[in-house]
Structure 1
């Protein structure tokens, strides 16, 4: 079903570079938590400005900001700034703009607007000389290195790492995660060496259907959305990414044996029991259930499952995207598609 050579695509090679990219990024950014805290000062709210994969990384950070730092967060609607030119009081806001290239003009313009509205601005980008890095009050540069494949892999996980560092700088309890941050690169390496035979089973299951649903909840929900986006853009599968709470409010009616379900879970935390119950409920419909992460009970409730990183829930989202990326890259090749250059996409997307 799949090409066994893991180096046949640029995407696969860049997936394999993530342990080193994460180590460089964390080494660079963890010592800057004091700067981040000083910039934030007495701000009480977080506003994330992003699109695409960067938006999914921001979903992780929004949950993390509320749970780990006690700061209310929201995702910005750039049209409010760029099309409506709305006047909004952001004087108690830290606006965090996220863009791998730092060159998406919509994000740069929305960040400039946030600053005019009184916000303090923090940029997360992979390009140090980018317009976004130059525009923000403070820039966190991820150290992913140049990314050539169109699907974001190492730039995504290093974004999540940078955002996690930024939130940790604002956390109520300082230093609690420091020892776990040190384990992230090794856990990323372990994810890259995920069982190839299990990945092949998942590829086979997804190859048999054009209907795919992803679901999760809580701090790792952004990884659920990212898995859906990667399946859509790289494998040309129409996919819905839903919170399991939203799934139960109506969309559960579409789940049947013709649809494959991918569930994404942290290895601990309050959302895990609900995801175990969801896996059991979905299996009863005949839908094949694929699982990423979770604990032993979660994986037992799925038809096919890969373990996630052995990290606290707050840091799981840094490494949990890796098995999803491996799955998507293999599926694309199995379907005869080029994972490096998905149809109709470019590395930098400009919107109005």
Structure 2
């Protein structure tokens, strides 16, 4: 038996993400189209997501997609209202979506069960078709990510993003993805492969070796990327990752930024990226240590439509997080005090 080498599991998981995208297109498209067709037939008046941790950031991405692409209002269910306080909201006309890699957290299962009991249509999005969450919901989408080696989620997160994007675009079309949309999605695995071959992000990691806190920021579709990066920094390097939307950053937290507080700013193209220009200018006035992520930025990512950018922007940030943890002498495969499946009530 050989000794465990720190970070090998996370590095392998990260490298498998382009193949995960391709797998969803090749093997998952039919099942996702059938679920999309059913949701389009239901015509929910609003959508409620319930999730924890990394999956909560995937759900946030889906919330932006749902409101922007489908024009349906979105909210987040507070699991404790149902599980701890016994609330039984009236869920008629709603679609309640539970997003979870393992599908095993009792609180999410209970939210979906109660929502269905109270008149909602329900959907589970998981990496485990045999999970309690999948069993509790009317419909299930398998993100087909396969076994994830590291405790810190990487490939399951991006698989959730991609599956939710395919689903919501499918609902918009009434079932199967339109040919032009599928053609755009078929570009993503190749773009991801090239992006992961770029060493820029990993080479920047030593810059933050002694940081106590790092601010992450973005707007719109980029905001989930900022939140997911902050969580990964906390999980793997035990750095205080402080995530803010670009707008919220200007409403107060900007005051804490200075040359000693690094900022990772996701600022791509489109309305969300353009709105970050003011944020970057204000950070410049504060002489903050800023690294930008996006097309033409410090960490360059492909120039794609903003709704696709989260599938790519997170990849170099995962590499940065991995390299930073190793530079600090930590093992990102097995963060202290954490396990792969977290069960909450």
Q: TM range, normalised to the smaller chain? A: over 0.9
Question: For the residues of structure 2 that align with 1:163 and 1:152, how far apart are their CA atoms?
Answer: 17
Structure 1 counterpart of 2:272: 271
Deviation of 1:57 after TM superposition, in Å, equals 0.5
Q: Which residue of the other structure, out of 297, 301, 324, is the alignment partner of 2:317?
A: 324
Question: For the residues of structure 2 that align with 1:8 and 1:211, how far apart are their CA atoms?
Answer: 21
**What pairs with 1:22-61 in structure 2 (closer than 5 Å)?**
22-31=21-30, 32-40=32-40, 41-61=42-62
Q: How many residues align?
A: 336
**What pairs with 1:173-212 in structure 2 (closer than 5 Å)?**
175=178, 176-194=180-198, 196-200=199-203, 202-212=204-214
Contact (CA 8 Å) 1:180, 1:312: kept in 2 or not? no
Question: For the residues of structure 1 that align with 2:343 and 2:133, how far apart are their CA atoms?
Answer: 14
Contact (CA 8 Å) 1:25, 1:142: kept in 2 or not? yes
So what's the TM-score if we normalise by structure 1?
0.91
Q: 1:132 to 1:8 in 2, by over 3 A?
A: closer
Q: 1:8 to 1:110 in 2, by over 3 A?
A: closer
Structure 1 counterpart of 2:16: 17
Question: For the residues of structure 2 that align with 1:18 and 1:210, how far apart are their CA atoms?
Answer: 29
Q: Say which SS state the counterpart of residue 308 (structure 2) adopts.
A: helix
**What pairs with 1:17-166 in structure 2 (closer than 5 Å)?**
17-31=16-30, 32-40=32-40, 41-166=42-167
Q: Say which SS state the counterpart of residue 290 (structure 1) adopts.
A: strand
Q: Say which SS state the counterpart of residue 19 (structure 1) adopts.
A: helix
Question: For the residues of structure 2 that align with 1:263 and 1:102, how far apart are their CA atoms?
Answer: 31
Compute the RMSD of aligned alpha carbons.
Answer: 1.8
Q: Say which SS state the counterpart of residue 280 (structure 2) adopts.
A: helix
Question: For the residues of structure 1 that align with 2:302 and 2:45, how far apart are their CA atoms?
Answer: 31
Q: Say which SS state the counterpart of residue 177 (structure 1) adopts.
A: helix
Structure 2 counterpart of 1:258: 260
Deviation of 1:198 after TM superposition, in Å, equals 4.8
So what's the TM-score if we normalise by structure 2?
0.93
Q: 1:99 to 1:316 in 2, by over 3 A?
A: same
Structure 1 unaligned spans of 5+:
1-5, 300-304
Contact (CA 8 Å) 2:124, 2:134: kept in 1 or not? yes
Q: Say which SS state the counterpart of residue 171 (structure 1) adopts.
A: helix
Question: For the residues of structure 2 that align with 1:204 and 1:333, how far apart are their CA atoms?
Answer: 10
Question: For the residues of structure 2 that align with 1:64 and 1:205, how far apart are their CA atoms?
Answer: 34
Question: For the residues of structure 2 that align with 1:7 and 1:256, how far apart are their CA atoms?
Answer: 33
Offset from partner CA, 1:110-168 (integer Å, 9 cap, x none) = 11111112111111111121111122111111111101200001100001111111211
- Larger deviation, residues 126-135 vs 202-211: 202-211
Q: Say which SS state the counterpart of residue 314 (structure 1) adopts.
A: coil
Contact (CA 8 Å) 2:7, 2:332: kept in 1 or not? no
Structure 1 counterpart of 2:218: 216
Contact (CA 8 Å) 2:124, 2:139: kept in 1 or not? yes
